[in-house]
Structure 1
Amino acid sequence: MGSRRVQMASPGRKRCRNMAELQAITVPQQVSQGDELLKHHLLKMLVTDLLPFSKVKDVGFRAFCRGLNPTFDPPSSALWVRTELQSVYEYIKAEVHNMLQSVPEVALTAEMWTHTSEGVYLTVSCHFIDRYWKRRNCLLETVALGSDRAAAHVVEQLLKTSSDWGIAEKVKVVMSNVKSKDSMTESCEAKGWVHMRCFVCTLDIMFREALAQLDKPSWRMPLLLRKCRAIVRFFQQDRDAQRQLRANQEKLNLSPLRLVQAAVDDTWLDMGTMLQRLSQQRDAINLVLLQHVKEDLWLNDRDMEKINAVLAALQPLRDTAKEMVSDGYESLSNIIPLVDNLQKSMARLSEDGNQVAKALADVCMRLFGHAGDNRWMALSTAMDPRFKNIMLFSSRAQTIEQKLQVELKALCPSKDASPLGFGTEEVDAILTEYKSTNTMVRDQNPLDFWRLPRGFKKLSHVARKYLTVVSTAVPLQRAFNPEISRRVHHSRCHLEPENVNLMMFLNGHWSIESSNSPESE
């Protein structure tokens, strides 16, 4: 059978002609394809799993490679790995840079994360919708911020990165997970950008502020959470207690689930998982605590009443997360409909006397109550054919249509129209026709609607602008999956500092996942 030999990219060799060729992985049709193909897969593995370059020196790893192919002598030099990957990086970077020059406008996402020993890093990505109406996401740079978390410093780095990539003038909106929203907003506005806080980050803030409201004598939620963390810590540190817990789980016909720890700064998902496990395993846990005379950690009925109230109040947030779970990113247009459903669910729970839900509803109203007044949220929702009726047939309809008229006249100039663009009658006709179209179902791709030729196609200029902005600063599969999030964080914290940017960039553009994603098609 025939086979294809894949050459490694290196400075002295012919480059692949496009990113698709770089991203493609050839499945060997014979057992042996030569060292070059195996080295190619080795580099892909390091990039995909964010492994340190020193992995190629590990005795066990080298033995495993030879076990798969006794004739293959895997490279043992970290310098060789860096040289090869640097070559791929330079090529892809040039390709992405050239591609971005033809894009009219982009949105930025800024993810701030903390390295366990090297301080704060900032990962910057850009997002746009291409001419085929496919959402494109390009990781641009990961830079060390040291210990400086100031919003002004973050925005200066965003400006430097976007300038280096030639897109500073194309940026309109920055979506970040930076907690200091007000100062980020002010710093972005000083550069002519709009700042929006990541939806996932906002949900976490909502949960923390709601719990803070419940720090009163009748609830003392922070105190209960400290107790729950202490219970988990006890079982993690005492092997006898672990064995007894497993025995009690078997005796009581409970699932043999391990307890999960949630740190003070963990997300509501982590906190919910910890409380859910404690609720499920309460009887088995209390039997062990009784044997070890740990009455201070005993989960009494009042504790369980509070825990169950928290879990019930978190269910609407879990439902929201399920609505958003997908690969990659979703448009900002999802937020208003999701928040609307979230508020309705919280209201029902509040009416039933759930104090946690009431606190969440109060904070949710403060954080999202004026989302419809936000131009980017409102117009992205109006331009999403799944949710357009929420905005175009509401009390805000007149205001929304006026904003769309301004956008149409500014974005779609016409020789036969006024100096601003379309005439008023033409604009009204376009909006009327768009309003009369059928809405799409929730699980359809709104970009498919705008890809098709239509009589109001000129409105697609506005749709592309507003649907370009994404709702989260991190991909959704990581945003709502603590296990994946922890795994990624663990991996990137074990990268050598000098290789963080190189590996994060290639992980976004040249990993096995990115090769199989819709954006790489």
Structure 2
Amino acid sequence: MVWKYFKQSDDKKLAKCLQCSKEYKTSGNTSNLRDHLKRMHPASDRDNTPSTSSSNRSSYNSIDSYFKRAVEYDSSSKRKKDIDSALTQLVTESFHPFNIVNDNAFRKFVKVLDTRYVLPSKNTLKNIHITNLYESRKAILFDILSNVANVAITTDCWSSMNNEAYITVTCQFIDEEYNFRHAVLPTKKLNDITNHTARNIADSLHDVVMEWSIFNKECCVTTDNASSMTKACELLKLRHLPCVAHTLNLVVQDGLKEFVLQSLISKCKTIVTFFRSSTTAMEKFKLGQRSERPLKLKQDVITRWNSTYIMIQRILQTSTAISSVLLSTPKAPPTLTADEIQALEEIEKLLLPFLTITEKCSGNYVTVSLIIPLVNGLYRNMMEQAKSLKSQHGINLCSKLLEGIKKRLIIYETRTPTRMATILDPRFKKEAFISENIANETSNLLETEIMHFMGHSHTQPPSQQEAPEGEDTLFSFLHERNRNKRLSKRADSILIKRQYLERQNAAQNTNPLDYWKLAEEDFLPLKECVLKYLCIPASSVESERMFSKAALIVNEKRSQLKPKNVDMLCFLNKNNWL
């Protein structure tokens, strides 16, 4: 009986499968129910076949089994396992919901590609395939981190579309082949979902680093400038580096708050709003550019200074078309004057270096050593530009930017992670510092670090090397005396440091990790320092990038995802390199 495997609803209009909970409409007719058993539960369907004579039943089952084997892949089939794996990758990498396997169009598409493949159920996909992939990759990453001496982390908090608070933790390290690696660790709800206090963030972060056994491996935590994040690092007694991209944002935002600038920026925003709200004006604007690929105007977003820069840049690129449309359209806002265009050109030129630094310090490579030389170059660039500015808008902005650089950015020279990373970068060494005194202090600090790692070095100091084979025995007393002449660790560290610093700096296009990978064994203590400091990210962009990823994961199609599934999907999506 079909009803052995289905439960009928009270109104007799629906039947629910007792094995997979799939519901079907029924009015007493069981054809669609039998079809479901054949497709999804063939073993049950065999039990449900019509009973005639034993010989006929045996013949029916034999034929049915034959065609089943011909039509469907066995669960142990390599082909089925490969397709299941590809399906799992599709869901985790392309942000498809788990119930894509129930989508009729997708099922038809898969059936056309391979008629013998039967899609797994939603629960099988989620609880078996995705969970197994997550556990295997987590084990791989855990094993890798267990063999890494130094790990730097970034972290930030974000809210899902359901207004649920999550914290994401990422880690960066340099592997044994001197490759810069980035991995996402857990994405989880805060321990106390009712507040975002520093203590709550610290407790949540502590649980993560203890779970991954990296508490004693972090040399630095990079976060934004929020006071709660800074305080959380203090509570955990972890070294903290403020995100340079966030700091740059604060410097530029302070500069753009200048009253004179606000009126000009407001006028630009009004022009953009007009074109975006009028289809007629927009069509005239596109035609006025006389280009096969006309540009669109971009609106300013108050929280991101680079959106202001992009808005100004796009207005300058299309200023002729803008003026033509505004002057010929009734009730249009006033067009920009020649003086205002000049002011915008100066503003764009002043903001461009900030955009360049933000992009350079947000890559998946060594970035912490770039901060001090880029800030030094930025300060000099602003000083040079100040000499040629003509508009009051440009002069005011330049003054505010220089003030912000002195207040928020030059201080990076005094932070241990940034100055140690700079001197250990063969492209910069001591020459990248603004202050000569800080450069010398950093050189002395490098000696101390070398001394700390001297005990880990497997190379013999020159005074302890064995006598060469074949040496004249008449001079053996010289070797004996030389062997007894032991240099101090301080002397050895000074010698190693001097050999490194006095060499010619590497070219600017050199990958510092490639340099240190090929460095002589005499520099082994320095290479230990490199692994400790160059793994630190200059910005917390990696953890912030999870916001956009998470917005695609926790979306309208799967707004009810459980936190453990959010964690799995974020982990798998960002750790493909494993």
Read off the aligned partner of 2:446 and give its amino acid letter. L
Residue in 2 aligned with 1:3? none
**1:248 and 2:314 aligned:** no
Read off the aligned partner of 1:260 and give its amino acid letter. K
Residue in 2 aligned with 1:440? 506
SS of alignment partner, residue 75 of structure 1: coil
1:316–1:346 CA contact under 8 A, matched in 2: no
Residue pairs, 1:487-502, within 5 angstroms: 488=549, 490-494=551-555, 496=559, 497-498=561-562, 499-502=565-568
For residues 418-442 of structure 1, the C-alpha deviation after alignment (integer angstroms, 9 at most, x for no partner) is: xxx9622111111111112232222
For residues 251-307 of structure 1, the C-alpha deviation after alignment (integer angstroms, 9 at most, x for no partner) is: xx5851122223211x23322112211222233334444555344464344543332
Residue pairs, 1:277-356, within 5 angstroms: 277-290=314-327, 292-296=329-333, 298-321=335-358, 323-324=360-361, 326=363, 328-353=364-389, 354-355=394-395, 356=397
Read off the aligned partner of 2:517 and give its amino acid letter. R
**1:82 and 2:126 aligned:** yes
Read off the aligned partner of 2:442 and give its amino acid letter. I
Distance 2:294 2:125 in 1: 42
Residue in 1 aligned with 2:454? 412
TM-score after normalising by structure 2? 0.71
- 1:159, CA displacement in angstroms? 1.3
SS of alignment partner, residue 541 of structure 2: coil
Residue in 1 aligned with 2:438? 396
| Percent identity (aligned) | 24
1:127–1:135 CA contact under 8 A, matched in 2: yes
Distance 1:228 1:74 in 2: 57
If asked which structure has higher relative contact order (CA below 8 Å, sep 6+), I would say 1
- The equivalent position to 2:221 in structure 1, one of 162, 167, 174, is 174
- 1:73, CA displacement in angstroms? 5.6
**Structure 2 vs 1, CA of residues 488 and 187 (structure 1 numbering), >3 Å: closer, same or farther?**
closer
Distance 1:52 1:227 in 2: 43
For structure 2, the 5+ residue unaligned runs are 1-77, 462-486
Residue in 1 aligned with 2:201? 154
**1:184 and 2:226 aligned:** no
- The equivalent position to 1:164 in structure 2, one of 208, 211, 214, is 211
Distance 1:287 1:322 in 2: 35
1:49–1:491 CA contact under 8 A, matched in 2: no
Residue in 1 aligned with 2:537? 470
For residues 142-178 of structure 1, the C-alpha deviation after alignment (integer angstroms, 9 at most, x for no partner) is: 123457444443332211111111111222211013x
**1:204 and 2:246 aligned:** no
Distance 1:72 1:335 in 2: 57
Distance 1:282 1:302 in 2: 13
Read off the aligned partner of 1:444 and give its amino acid letter. T
- 1:125, CA displacement in angstroms? 0.8
Read off the aligned partner of 1:192 and give its amino acid letter. K
For residues 174-228 of structure 1, the C-alpha deviation after alignment (integer angstroms, 9 at most, x for no partner) is: 1013x41x4433331221111112122122111111112x12xxx1x33443443
For residues 480-511 of structure 1, the C-alpha deviation after alignment (integer angstroms, 9 at most, x for no partner) is: xxxxx99646524526442321111001223x
Which has more radius of gyration? 2
Q: For this pair of structures, how many residues does the alignment match? A: 460
Distance 1:341 1:172 in 2: 27
Residue in 1 aligned with 2:423? 382
1:229–1:263 CA contact under 8 A, matched in 2: no
- 1:360, CA displacement in angstroms? 1.5
1:336–1:372 CA contact under 8 A, matched in 2: yes
- The equivalent position to 1:427 in structure 2, one of 478, 487, 493, is 493
**Structure 2 vs 1, CA of residues 262 and 82 (structure 1 numbering), >3 Å: closer, same or farther?**
farther
1:65–1:72 CA contact under 8 A, matched in 2: no
Distance 1:408 1:486 in 2: 39
TM-score after normalising by structure 1? 0.79
Distance 2:335 2:104 in 1: 47
Read off the aligned partner of 1:80 and give its amino acid letter. T
Residue in 2 aligned with 1:138? 183
Distance 1:339 1:77 in 2: 55
- 1:77, CA displacement in angstroms? 4.1
**Structure 2 vs 1, CA of residues 329 and 49 (structure 1 numbering), >3 Å: closer, same or farther?**
farther
Read off the aligned partner of 2:443 and give its amino acid letter. E
1:152–1:184 CA contact under 8 A, matched in 2: no
1:261–1:274 CA contact under 8 A, matched in 2: yes
For residues 354-376 of structure 1, the C-alpha deviation after alignment (integer angstroms, 9 at most, x for no partner) is: 32233222211211122222111
Distance 1:51 1:193 in 2: 38
**Structure 2 vs 1, CA of residues 128 and 316 (structure 1 numbering), >3 Å: closer, same or farther?**
same
Distance 1:275 1:489 in 2: 30
Residue in 2 aligned with 1:91? 136
Residue in 1 aligned with 2:411? 370
Distance 1:244 1:346 in 2: 38
Read off the aligned partner of 1:466 and give its amino acid letter. Y
